[in-house]
Structure formats: C-alpha cells, structure tokens
Structure 1
Amino acid sequence: MEDLSPDASVGPATRLVQHRYRPPADFEAPAPGVHKASTVFFPNVAAVRQREWKDKSAYTYGLHGTPTTFTLEARIATLEGGQHCVLAPSGLAAMALVDMAFLSAGDEVLLPDNAYGPGKSLAAAELARWGIAHRCYDPMRPDHLASLIGPATRLVWLEAAGSVTLEFPDVPALVAVVRQAQTARGPGARAIVTALDNTWGAGVAFVPFDLGVDISLQALTKYPSGGGDVLMGSVVTRDDALHRQLLLTHMRLGLGVGANDAEGVLRGLPSLLLRYHAQDRSTRALATWMAEQPGVARVLHPALPGSPGHAHWLRDARAAAALFSVVFDDAVGAAQVDAFCDRLRRFRLGYSWAGPVSLCMPYELGPMRELPGPHPARLVRLAVGLEDVADLQADLAQALTAVS
C-alpha cells in the first residue's frame, strides 16, 4: 500500500495542495468521469514539446480538450455518422465558428430564408461588418439556389426542417446544385462548403452525410442534452481538411465548454433515441388532432401529408422531431392568438425545445423572412415534451376556446 504518512519536509499547505495519494487507475462506471482543467501537467520538457492535442492523442491545456470533452466529441461524431467533432458554447456559437472558419472578406454565404433567425442575424450584422455578403434562397426551390450561386459564394447553409415553419427541403437536390456550381468553376477553384443545421434531426431522423453535406451542426442544447438546462453546440464532419480548418479557428477563438455541461450532455445521450421517438409519437398524435380543430387553417409538420416537403421527408428521414406549428384561420385575430398561448397551462411559454416540458411560442413571420411571402400572419409553434399526450391534448382543447 502507498505510504500516505505526512511529509515532514514540507509545510501543511504544500501537503494538502500536492498530496501524495493517487487513486487506482482501473475505475470504470456507466457515466464517464468529469475532468476539469485549465492547467494540464507535463511529466517533462520533452512532453511539452512533443504532445499534440489536435489528433486527441494527448492533453496540453484545458481549452484544447480533456478526457470528458474528447469523449463527448467522439460520441457526437458517431451519433451523426461523422469522423470529427468540435464543441462550442452554444448552437449559435457553433454557427459562428463555421462562418469564421470558411469565410473571408469579399466572400458570400447563402442561407435558406427559413433558417434559424439568430444565424441569419449573425450574417446580416457581424459578417456584413467584416465585408462578407449574404443572400437568402428559397429552400424548396433548388433552381432558386442555383440562380444565386456566384463567384464569391463560399458557404451554403441548409436546414432540415426549416425553423418555425418546418418545411423539409430536398437536401440531396440542393447539395447537387452546389456540386454542379463547384464543377463549373473548374479545377483548383475554392470549394463551396455545404453546412446543415441538423438540430431537428439530431442524428436520429437521418444521417446528414448520407444526404451529401460537408458539415453537420447541432445545438446540443436540444435533444442530446434533453434536460433544458445545458447550452452547447457541435460541428461534425467526415473531411479531415475541413476538420483541421475548423479546429484551428476554434483554437484561435478560444472556444470552450464547461466540464459539467459536457457531463450533462453525456448523461443525456444514452436516452436520446428513446426520448426522440417518444416525443415524435406524441407530436404526430397532437399535430393530427390539432389539424381537425375549428379555427385552425393548417398544421405544419413534415410527417403530415400536405406539409411542405412531406415527400422529401418520406424519402430521406425515418423519424420526426417534437415540433409542430399551427396556422390559424384569417378570421382569428392577433389578440386571440395571444390569448390562446396565455391560456395554455401544460405548454409553457418559452424558447428552445426537446426538453421534458412542452413549450409554446407565437411568431410573426414577416420580420423573420427576407423573401416575399405570402407568410402566415398568425402562427404558433408548439414543442412537445414528455408529458402524457392526453393531458397535453386537454390543455390545447381548453386553450382553443380563445380562438373559437
């Protein structure tokens, strides 16, 4: 047994800070260990000069990875069918990382008009200040995307399903448009990178790389965490060169995630598929019921026939997420829509989704879109949690009296 008797040659503070005890190394449990570090110790100067963190073969500094973050990155890459992953403090930070890794002054980025709002705002404000242009395309029209790709186009964002209105685009067709434009540029031309916001799919509904994209991004805040209590993002790729470019930008920006947040996502991953499919079933049941209610003009959900992109979803996906949006009749006024939201008790008013609690949020689509409409004027997005479906349906029923 190790000698743990006090070292009389040093003072009590030193004995506490540099204690002799080291736990045995063969501990294993279902939950990975939580390693917290800024400083990482090196055994000698040679190790300082030889260690390499970029390939996850060693540790140099807490910001560049710990056993906890390396483990989470490996599991997220596996979840999405990729090879490499980097973590960011939020989904939006992950978007900013992709933008900054691949865009320079004079470049252009193309975004679907129904993309995540803060990502569009990032392009319109910050990227514009740095001399990077952006334009929005209709994600349901590959020909429109083709018409916008120009010599300066360097990055094309995709989203499946679209934010709030949940259109499911023909991702392979959109990727094919980008590849055709790349081929037309000729050999040696700068590549056009395709990046998919896969938060909705979560690595469960479809494998993003099987649809042809270069990069898959998730807000791990949503399904991988599952608790509504963690902010984090990830960027996954199969391409070594793209990963290295992302990793170096990630390092220069000083992006890092907290060990306890990484622990929270690692704890959520084993139940991800169970939660995703359970919430999928509940959401389809509620969306189908809601579509039949008075005052409801339309329900938007990729698995429902008639929802935009339903045929693409049938071909490319095997599940759907916990979101559906309700478009009310024109006769329903804005005050009535607000009253519907305020009357809900099981659905709480709040942003985000994929947690255990069902959520509700009204939207005005006009300010969120750059392309001309028509856009639904009165829309409410509902995110279904893990409550009993009967209780959620009863809550919706009593709230609908506000719009009847």
Structure 2
Amino acid sequence: MTGSRAGLRKAVSFFPDFGWPGAAKVDLREDSIRSFNLVQERYSRQRAFVSSYDVDVMNPHCRFPDPDSAHRVIARIADVLIPGHTLTPVDPDTGRQIAFDTTADSNWHFSYPAPAALHTRRVPGLVAAIPPYKHYGHLLTDVLMPLAYGLHRKVLAPGETLTIVTARSVNPLVENFVKGLQRNGLPIRHLRLAPWERVHAERYLYARSHCCNLERVFATPEALDYARSIFQAAYADRPLPEAAPRVYLTRGHTRLRQVEGEAELIEGLRGRGFRIVEASWSNHHEQIHWFSEAKTIMAVHGAGLANILWARGQPLLIELMAQNARKSTGLHWAAEIGADYEPVIGGPEGPRQAFSIDPAAVLRDVDAILARYPAR
C-alpha cells in the first residue's frame, strides 16, 4: 500500500527499499577502489583452502561484482530522515533508504514500520547514524571503521560539529567510540533516539565501504591507527592486563558455534604457552591490548577475529573452523594488515553451527604451523 508513495512511507516510517539520492543533493567526497591483499601470491594457498566448502555471504544485488575489491564512499547528503527504530538514513524525496551500492529491496529488520513520524527532531549541521548491530565484527569493520576513515580524511569542516545518532540504549563499543572522539577533541554531539522518534538532518555523513562479498566489507586499513587512538582515549583510565606472546580467543558459552573438544584443546595450548582469553562487550580495551601485543593468535571463526585488525608487527593468525563451512573473513582481515594466516579445521558443522574437533589432531596441526613460523 505504501510502496509507490514517499509521503505514505514517511507517515508510517516504512522504507522498504534502497536507492541513491539525486546528484543535486549529494556532495561526493570520495569514491575510491580498494583492491584486497588476499589476492597476493603469499596468500594463494590459504585462499584456495578457505574457498573449498565456501559459505561466504554474498549480496546478489550489489552493483560492484568484483569480490576482491571494495568501493570506499564518503558523501555529504542534504535533507535526510533517520527513523529511530532502524537508524538507517532515508531520502525523504523518494522514501528509500540511502545506499550507494544497490537499488534492491531491504530486509524487514531495517525497514519495518513504527510510529516514528509522531516526533521529529530537526538537527542542523552534519549528522551520522550508527545502527544497532549485535555482531562485533560487522559493527567494527562495516560501520565504525568507515566512519573513522571519513573523519580521518577531514570530512568535518573547521568549526563544524558532527551529531552522532544512536539508539537510546547503545552498546558499550559505540558509546566508547563516541567518547573517544570527544576526548580527542572532535566537536561531537551524541543524540540517542527512542524507537518512536526520528531525526530530520540538514546534512548527513555517508561513510561506507561496499563489496558484493559481505565477508570483505572492511576496506579502510589506513584508518586503523586513527581508530586505535579513538579507543585508547576512551579507555585511558582503565587498567590493562598482562600481555602474552601467544593468545587463544575462546568463544566461551555462546549460543552459536560451540566446539566439542575445546576444553582438551585449551589445555594443550596452555602447555604451548598460549594465554586463554574471552571477549565481551565490556572488555574491549583488553581485547585491543591482547591482540596488539601478541605474535601468535588462534581463534575459532567468529566475530572476535576482527580483533586481528589491532595486531601489530606482522603476527600469525590461526583460525579454527568447521570442515564444511569455511569463510574468507579471517583471511581477509589478516591480509589487510599484512599478517600471516593459517587455517585449521575440525569436523562438519551441525545444528547452530557447532562442530567437534579431535584435540590431538588440531594440536599436531598447530605444532606444524608453529614450526613453519619459528619466531612466533
């Protein structure tokens, strides 16, 4: 009923598809192409391995068909709506969510209707929105890193304030990202929206990377040092744990991707000098520290692998994954910082992406890998 009329879409805050505003509204500051490091010869063996039984998630509607590169886009867009229940920017002239890479339909999670039109806040100046993400890896690499990249590229004019819009209840990673920007002296205002509110922005900061392979959206390694400085400022008053040269990141008691046999693996890794750590939203400062100082990092495939982006000095990443459900995510993130990468597999994937391992066999594989990298 609302699909053909922008006015009806705005009345019920239902924006079911994507599009790009007309050229008159867009000040395009950057549209650059980043070719990925995983195509380098040094990663050819590992890439062939993870490409077998590949379950990378693809965007069939992306207009950029090359899975080995991404478009980095920075734009200032005039006259944008931001509904509080989805926090996705919308062009009020068309009633479409703003996306540079596609004109396809949106999924329900980012488009469902809500009474947001009952309370509209008009915000002058430049506005950016951070949608609610539950996945640490995608929030960090797909949303926060491109925003850090845009700010690092001086998208803010002298004397200009940026209003960052988030949900009323925001997770600690986003809260500390905003705090770090403020502590570093950037003129940042933080506006929290309730689900029934929306913002009418004078200008919107669109900072995103686009790739048809959704495992490879991260494309802004130039912003890593700047992003590190943001979080270091946010966590300046927090004590850091003792670092270790070898780290194993366990998934703990998560609902998905439990590893049967991990307890025995952990004991074997402890005997090889690995420190066992677990990530949470509340210990992000520790995650940055662990990965910054370690020379060898091992982890089960998952969101926590994104922490490899904080590593320094060409470390080694060992990724444990199911035999029949391999993704290029870890290889991509490792390659973008120039890290070495080695995959290790367990058994086939079962319900809730769980799989089992033969701990002795995995430890033999780890020993063989460590022998190939004696300095680690």
Return the TM-score normalized by structure 1: 0.30
Higher relative contact order (CA 8 A, sep 6+): 2
Higher strand share: 2
Q: Which has the higher helix share?
A: 1
**TM superposition score normalised by structure 2:** 0.31
